[in-house]
Amino acid sequence: MYPKALQNAIEQLRKLPGVGQKTAERYAFALLNYKPEEIQDFTKSILEAKMTLHPCPVCGNLAQNDVCDICADKHRDPSLICVVQDVKDVAALERMAEYKGLYHVLGGVISTQKGILPEDINLETLLPRLTPEVKEVIIATNPTLDGETTALYLAKRLEKQNCIVSRLAHGIPMGGHVDYVDEMTLIKAMEGRKKMK
Amino acid sequence: MYPKALQNAIEQLRKLPGVGQKTAERYAFALLNYKPEEIQDFTKSILEAKMTLHPCPVCGNLAQNDVCDICADKHRDPSLICVVQDVKDVAALERMAEYKGLYHVLGGVISTQKGILPEDINLETLLPRLTPEVKEVIIATNPTLDGETTALYLAKRLEKQNCIVSRLAHGIPMGGHVDYVDEMTLIKAMEGRKKMK
């Protein structure tokens, strides 16, 4: 029905999350109307993101250089480490512009249902980071079943460490996701964080 | 907040029609999770569509070769030409699999409001196509103000031509768009098409 090249592009655009046939067609036609240099910018930006970004070897956040921008920032407070599930959660917490500590991105949560074990997530790299300098580990996994499981597992693992282990508090609705919460709720959650041990 | 490369990709994805910040982020993270060869396929398909597709010199439809697939198809009925606003309308009409004639894609409609004149759309190339072989021109512009204006203008221009000029009939709701109508409605509209002169 459409020329082969257009059908291919539509098929590829359909693979994006939540994109159906009509939306993919709409995107494809919009892209066909781009100027050649705009199309180059579009595809180049995607290729470059894929090529240059990698997990930060220290914290697991997305990094463009050796370590991520937050780990590289000398003005961050190294006595605080906030443990999050996902890179998007770092961005959400950064948006509230209140937290000045460091992060640790698990890149997932322990899930008995999905068969995700502690060794499947970025957890082992957290322990070597817990030098005496670190005063508190704030666990900010989502308040879902798997997120809570991970938080409890983590609290247990950090039991013998000489630092406070806390959990983001009231404010985040149960079953919700950290990166969809508004700034105010996140500030409340950060202020009311609770000790886990 | 995000690394530069990711921010660039999100910015580019936001330019797609109807895509906001959250959706662009979602697409960007999905793309980051692609395998390298999948990313290549994705960007290649878009670049290829942009590079290889051009308006068919005969009818204005999207063509990958010299002329579009429909103009090149010897089994199409050359006595019928259906005039549509947009490439997407060709696809919509082809989906009903009832019409076997040819097309002429205007690539827009006359609009006094937007200052689009008859010479701004692909109209002049239609007249040389109206050989004695052509028995009927079916005008399938959208039943909107501009679409109707264009249909009337076209009917006027084709007045002296020795062919029937018809208009897609009842079935397409007023104010609607040809490419969003279901197949049955399109069949009704095609059957009930009305002579304009």
Closest CA to A88 of B39, B13, B21: B21
- Closest alpha carbon within chain B to A6: B49
pLDDT of residue A186: 78
* A63 DSSP β-pair partners: A54
**DSSP structure string for chain A:** ---HHHHHHHHHHHTSTT--HHHHHHHHHHHHTS-HHHHHHHHHHHHHHHHH-EE-TTT-SEESSSS-HHHH-TTSEEEEEEEESSHHHHHHHHHTT---EEEEE-SS--BTTTTB-GGGSTTTTTGGG--TT--EEEE---SSHHHHHHHHHHHHHTTTSSSEEEE--TTSPTT--GGGS-HHHHHHHHHT-EE--
Decide if pLDDT at B174 tops 70: no
Share of chain A above pLDDT 90, in %: 63
Q: pLDDT tens digit string along B97-145?
A: 888 999 999 999 999 899 999 999 999 899 999 999 999 999 998 878 8
Q: Which pLDDT band, with edges at 50, 70 and 90, does A84 fall under?
A: very high
CB proximity under 8 Å: B 87-146 to A: 87-88, 91, 94-95
pLDDT of residue A171: 65
Record the tokens describing residue B194, joined without a space.
């009305």
Q: Would an 8 Å CB–CB cutoff place A43 in contact with chain B?
A: yes
Decide if pLDDT at A182 tops 90: no
Q: pLDDT tens digit string along A67-79?
A: 999 999 999 999 9
- Test B1 with A95 for CB contact under 8 angstroms: yes
- Test B31 with A48 for CB contact under 8 angstroms: no
Decide if pLDDT at B193 tops 70: yes
Average pLDDT over residues A27-44: 94
Q: Does the reported pTM lie above 0.95?
A: no
The domain locations on chain A are 4-52, 76-169+177-191
The region of weakest confidence among A27-31, B77-81, B187-191 is: B187-191
Fold category of B76-169+177-191 in CATH: Dna Topoisomerase Vi A Subunit; Chain: A, domain 2 (3.40.1360)
pLDDT of residue B104: 96
ipTM above 0.95? no
- Closest alpha carbon within chain A to B32: A50
Average pLDDT over residues A128-142: 91
- The residue among A16, A50, A93, A181 with the most chain B CBs within 10 A of its CB, best to mutate, is A50
Q: Which pLDDT band, with edges at 50, 70 and 90, does A50 fall under?
A: very high
Closest CA to A23 of A34, A35, A10: A10
- Closest alpha carbon within chain A to B19: A27
Out of B6, B25, B45, whose CB is closest to A9? B45
Decide if pLDDT at A195 tops 80: no
Decide if pLDDT at B167 tops 80: yes
Q: Report whether CATH 1.10.8.420 matches the domain B4-52.
A: yes
Average pLDDT over residues A104-110: 94
Q: Would an 8 Å CB–CB cutoff place A52 in contact with chain B?
A: yes
pLDDT of residue B21: 93
Rounded Cα gap, residues A107 and A104, in angstroms: 9
User: What are the chain A neighbours of B8 within 8 Å (beta carbons)?
Assistant: 45, 48-49
- Cα(first)–Cα(last) distance of chain B, in Å? 63
Decide if pLDDT at A189 tops 70: yes
